[in-house]
């Protein structure tokens, strides 16, 4: 399979960066939930869990933006029919999915920078933690966007996607141990919540930042989710001729 990386990167830059430039209010909106939870966790725990909330902020921000892509995927396919434009070109569904997925990572950049400042103030970063965080955020973007685009590629009417997007964004980022220690949960609940890509991402981040023991099984869960959700998105994002 040949990838058209030039298209994917150009699409990601345009759809990600231009969205920030045209609609900065959307950036503020994407930050509202993670920052609110950061404030609540800091107050309710008297600062004891503030580091978890900051690391969870990275995860929650990227996940919520990526889960919101279910609406974009359906809107671009049903209303704008943008996929129909690519039928007669060399651009494949994989190129398109990769481009739109990377655009959400670019769109999350202002929030990532803000949380990086919080992390520097709290002295939570090490070289290992930074490398791990970059890999986790990239993998989370692929898995969460893949999950969302698979759902967006299967809905029949755009009116249904806004509610689906809102529900996914809240449930799949708040219920998992994103802003609190995963050790608070019995293992059975951890595995039940692992249906959300946010769960293994948050657990791995807490482990590699040294907050909690590393749960190595979540590495395999995370990789499996990236593979399965991206493959589902590729299958359900079909050009008209397929």
pLDDT value of position 15: 79
Would residue 20 count as lying in a domain?
A: yes
Residues of the domain holding 183:
5-236
Residue 8 and residue 99 in contact, taking contact as beta carbons nearer than 8 Å: yes
pLDDT value of position 117: 93
pLDDT value of position 241: 46
Successive 10-residue mean pLDDT values, the chain, 242 residues? 78 80 74 82 87 92 83 71 71 81 86 92 92 94 86 72 75 89 93 93 95 94 93 74 44
pLDDT value of position 20: 77
Helix (H) or strand (E) holding 121: helix 109-122
What are the pLDDT digits (tens) for 32-43?
778 888 888 888
pLDDT value of position 234: 80
List, as one string, the DSSP characters of 4-47: -HHHHHHHHHHHHHHHHHH-HHHHHHHHHHHHHHHHHHHHHTTT
Would residue 241 count as lying in a domain?
A: no
pLDDT value of position 132: 94
Would residue 183 count as lying in a domain?
A: yes
pLDDT value of position 238: 63
Residue 84 and residue 240 in contact, taking contact as beta carbons nearer than 8 Å: yes
What are the pLDDT digits (tens) for 40-65?
888 888 888 999 999 999 998 898 88
Q: What pTM did the predictor assign?
A: 0.87
Look at the chain and report how many structural domains it folds into.
1
156: tokens are 């029949």
Nearest Cα residue to 96 out of 10, 224, 1: 10
Would residue 196 count as lying in a domain?
A: yes
CA distance 187 to 136: 21
List, as one string, the DSSP characters of 214-236: --THHHHHHHHHHHHHHHHHHHH
pLDDT value of position 89: 74
């Amino acid at each position: 399979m040949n990838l058209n990386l030039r298209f994917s990167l150009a699409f990601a830059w345009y759809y990600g960066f231009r969205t920030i430039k045209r609609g900065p209010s959307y950036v503020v909106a994407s930050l509202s939930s993670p920052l609110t939870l950061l404030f609540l966790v800091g107050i309710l725990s008297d600062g004891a869990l503030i580091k978890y909330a900051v690391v969870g902020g990275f995860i929650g921000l990227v996940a919520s933006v990526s889960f919101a892509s279910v609406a974009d995927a359906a809107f671009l396919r049903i209303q704008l029919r943008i996929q129909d434009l690519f039928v007669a070109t060399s651009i494949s569904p994989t190129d398109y999915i990769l481009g739109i997925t990377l655009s959400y990572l670019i769109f999350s950049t202002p929030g990532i920078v803000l949380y990086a400042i919080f992390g520097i103030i709290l002295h939570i970063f090490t070289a290992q933690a930074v490398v791990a965080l970059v890999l986790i955020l990239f993998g989370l973007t692929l898995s969460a966007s893949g999950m969302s685009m698979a759902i967006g590629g299967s809905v029949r009417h755009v009116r249904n996607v806004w509610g689906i997007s809102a529900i996914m964004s809240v449930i799949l980022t708040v219920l998992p141990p994103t802003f609190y220690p995963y050790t608070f949960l019995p293992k059975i609940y951890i595995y039940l919540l692992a249906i959300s890509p946010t769960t293994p991402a948050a657990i791995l981040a807490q482990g590699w930042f040294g907050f909690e023991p590393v749960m190595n099984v979540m590495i395999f869960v995370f990789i499996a989710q990236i593979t399965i959700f991206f493959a589902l998105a590729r299958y359900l994002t079909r050009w008209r001729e397929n």
